[in-house]
């Protein structure tokens, strides 16, 4: 029943989202006439080569209207973004509910491990669709936006992706990309699944072995302070793998859709670092270990 209810709510939200998109276009078309008037008024002023009290008063009124129009459109877009966020949350909750319920029974064979190429594509899509934080004027980026860590009392939810420190087969420890299954407040421990072997490798880990991944991208143009800076030590997901390794930031993103350029620690190179490689904001987190000398 829960899955059916989620499907019904998602259908409602999609209808509401469609209406908001239509309202956005209507608002934009309505405000276009005013913007044209602003442009024409400036052209007349340039032709006459003077700023008369008439033009000053007229422009003040036109710009006041333009500001109100922009705020109205912005409010509609924020409502649309809220609908999209709610839809994504419901889709994730539905996936987790199906996983917990087990849509296959014991008589059926276990789920096959996802082909690596498919997994890599899904990880790339997850990075691309991570929402961009768009705050109102004066708002500061929240925890888990870009490089801003989670608050001290934060508990990752089932389905959240995290960097998890686990013991490998050879006994060494490594950071892997994992998905939260549950959290026990009694023991302060997480249960997580290795994203590369879903349903096969489950780990019980303390909170200090878990680093939540960003839930929003930081906008370099408006919130550069929410990004890691050049030469900062991080853990970054090595391209085409599901493991995090220590790296130095080579170049932070310059635009919202750009990735970090990072230098992975690699002793096979003379200076101890790999050539620059691109890693999405989604898969770069702070490294609390000291930098190697």
At 282, list the tokens. Answer: 């989604």
Q: Are 217 and 178 in contact (CB under 8 A)?
A: no
Burial class, 277, CB count within 10 angstroms (exposed 0-12 / middle 13-18 / buried 19+): middle
Secondary element (H or E) of residue 19? helix 2-48
At 264, list the tokens. Answer: 């992975």
Burial class, 263, CB count within 10 angstroms (exposed 0-12 / middle 13-18 / buried 19+): buried
- Kindly calculate the radius of gyration of the chain based on its CA atoms and give it in whole angstroms: 25
Domain 224-286 listed as CATH 2.30.30.140: yes
- pLDDT at position 114 over 90: no
Assign 212 a pLDDT band (cuts: 50, 70, 90).
Answer: very high
Burial class, 123, CB count within 10 angstroms (exposed 0-12 / middle 13-18 / buried 19+): buried
Name residue, tokens 């960097």: 163
- pLDDT at position 198 over 80: no
Q: Name the residue ranges covered by the structural domains of the chain.
A: 1-101, 224-286
Predicted pLDDT at 52? 87
Higher-scoring residue by pLDDT: 198, 227: 227
Strand-pair category, 284-286 with 233-237: antiparallel
Helices 2-48, 53-101: axis angle to 10 degrees equals: 160
Q: What is the pLDDT of residues 255-275, one digit of tens each?
A: 999 999 999 999 999 999 999
Q: What is the pLDDT of residues 28-58, one digit of tens each?
A: 998 998 999 999 999 988 888 878 888 899 9
């Amino acid at each position: 029943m829960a899955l059916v209810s989620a499907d019904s709510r998602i259908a409602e939200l999609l209808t509401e989202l469609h209406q908001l998109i239509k309202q956005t276009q209507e608002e934009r078309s309505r405000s276009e006439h005013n913007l044209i008037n602003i442009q024409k008024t400036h052209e007349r002023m340039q032709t006459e080569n003077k700023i008369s009290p008439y033009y000053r008063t007229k422009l003040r009124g036109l710009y006041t209207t333009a500001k109100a129009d922009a705020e109205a459109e912005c409010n509609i877009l924020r409502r649309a973004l809220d609908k999209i966020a709610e839809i994504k949350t419901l889709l994730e909750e539905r996936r987790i509910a199906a996983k917990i319920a087990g849509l296959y029974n014991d008589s059926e064979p276990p789920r096959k491990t996802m082909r690596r190429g498919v997994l890599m594509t899904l990880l790339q899509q997850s990075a691309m669709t991570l929402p961009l934080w768009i705050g109102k004027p004066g708002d500061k980026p929240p925890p888990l936006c870009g490089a801003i860590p989670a608050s001290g009392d934060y508990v990752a939810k089932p389905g959240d992706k995290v960097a998890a420190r686990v013991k490998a087969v050879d006994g060494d420890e490594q950071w892997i990309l994992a998905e939260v299954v549950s959290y026990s407040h009694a023991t302060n421990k997480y249960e997580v699944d290795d994203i590369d072997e879903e349903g096969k490798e489950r780990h019980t880990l303390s909170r200090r072995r878990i680093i939540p991944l960003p839930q929003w991208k930081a906008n370099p143009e408006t919130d550069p302070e929410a990004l890691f800076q050049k030469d900062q030590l991080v853990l970054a997901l090595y391209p085409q793998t599901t493991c995090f390794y220590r790296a130095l930031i080579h170049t932070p993103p310059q635009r919202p859709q750009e990735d970090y350029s990072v230098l992975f620690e690699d002793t096979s190179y003379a200076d101890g670092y790999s050539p620059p490689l691109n890693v999405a904001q989604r898969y770069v987190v702070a490294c609390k270990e000291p930098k190697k000398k």
